[in-house]
Amino acid sequence: MGLLRNFVVVTVIALSEFLSIGAGETNSSSQTCDFQAIFNFGDSNSDTGCMSAAFYPAALPYGETFFNEAAGRASDGRLIIDFIGQGNSFPRPEDFAKAIYTFDIGQNDIAAALQRMGQENTEAAISDIVDQLSNQLIYLYTQGARTFWIHNTGPIGCLPVSMPKHIAYNYTPAEGYLDQNGCVVYANDVAKEFNRKLNDTVVKLRTLYLDASFVYVDMFSAKYQLISNAKKEGFVDPSEICCGYHEGGNHFFCGNYNATVNGTEIYAGSCKSPSSHISWDGVHYTDAANSWIANRIVTGSFSNPQLPITRSCLLA
């Protein structure tokens, strides 16, 4: 299964001032990491240009909230990686060992596999996906990488595009198909199985490469916590999609200018308040949701071991 190998795109961010968020979680006497760069490997959920480079340039309303223009990101504004890092210059070769390498891979692979192959075959393919990622981590280690910040995959069954109300009009799912938050149970079960095998791989890598730091970040729990507490955190129903047209069984993806419903041409544009939504386009998160998630994961509260990202190098 070559999904991972074919679609990973790299974002490189050099830091003039590393991590303005999360740094306050350690006291002034605590040792912190002097990261010179972030190398991010991921799909369009974490990479600032993957979707545009691989498929098509993301046009407005993508980017409207923060950049006021399309900026290659699958959101109305910033991605989690934007909140983690700052700066805009390229790193030097000697900075490779001083960088932090972040990974956010799996959601697209699993979601596409579920759609094409079904649950049983997808579960059988998970080991191959994780093995490919493991091989790439080892390769980066041989090239000098020493600090790895590895996200597991999020609750795929909670993506609005996975939910029955956005798939079939007036469809009532069987009992037990959805959980208490309206998420598709079997899709989340597959994501959990992927995460279990990914965690086992990270544990193994720690035993093999004692001079490197491998931090496992539980993005599933962070995102599910936000979805479970959406109203309390100031968001609308997490199943609502901000950008796109989703009415009466008609669904058009965000930014679609050529949509027609009952002979009437419509524009699948943005909602009036993206900051109150968790889901931007049914697949990707909004600027506001990404900010909420980033501010929590950088503290280390969703990590194993529980270190803030500013100290994640200290295991090496």
Write down the pLDDT at residue 91: 57
Per-residue pLDDT tens over the stretch 68-112? 888 878 889 888 778 876 543 445 556 677 888 998 888 878 888
Write down the pLDDT at residue 93: 57
From first to last of the 316 residues of the chain, give the pLDDT tens digit: 333 333 333 433 333 333 444 444 444 446 888 887 788 887 777 766 666 666 667 788 988 998 888 887 888 988 877 887 654 344 555 667 788 899 888 887 888 888 888 888 898 899 999 999 999 999 999 999 999 999 999 999 999 988 887 776 567 888 999 999 999 999 999 999 999 999 999 999 999 999 999 999 999 999 999 999 999 999 999 999 999 988 877 888 898 888 888 888 888 899 999 999 999 999 999 999 999 999 999 999 999 999 999 899 887 5
Q: Could you tell me the pTM of the whole model?
A: 0.82
Number of domains in the chain: 1
Q: Which domain holds residue 108?
A: 3-232+285-315
CA angle (233 as vertex; 229, 238 as ends), nearest 5: 55
Domain annotation covers residue 270:
no
Domain annotation covers residue 88:
yes
Give me the DSSP letters along the chain.
Answer: --HHHHH-EEEEEE-SS--SSSGGGS-TTS------EEEEEESTTT-SSHHHHHT-PPPTTTTTTTTSS--S-SSSS--HHHHH----SPPPGGGGGGSEEEEE-SHHHHHHHHHHHHHHHHHHHHHHHHHHHHHHHHHHHHTT--EEEEE----GGGSGGGSGGGTSTT--PPTTSB-TTS-BHHHHHHHHHHHHHHHHHHHHHHHH-TTSEEEEE-HHHHHHHHHHTTTTTT---TT-BSSSEEETTEEE-TT-SSEEETTEEE-----S-GGG-SBSSSSSB-HHHHHHHHHHHTTTTTEES---GGGGGGG-
HEC per residue, 90-145: CCCHHHHHHCEEEEECCHHHHHHHHHHHHHHHHHHHHHHHHHHHHHHHHHHHHCCC
Domain annotation covers residue 277:
no
Write down the pLDDT at residue 109: 81
Catalytic residues: 44, 281, 284
Domain annotation covers residue 247:
no
Per-residue pLDDT tens over the stretch 169-188? 567 888 999 999 999 999 99
**DSSP bridge partners of 100:** 38, 147
Are 133 and 4 a contacting pair, CB within 8 Å? Answer: yes
Domain annotation covers residue 180:
yes
Domain annotation covers residue 128:
yes
Write down the pLDDT at residue 22: 43
Domain annotation covers residue 182:
yes
Domain annotation covers residue 263:
no
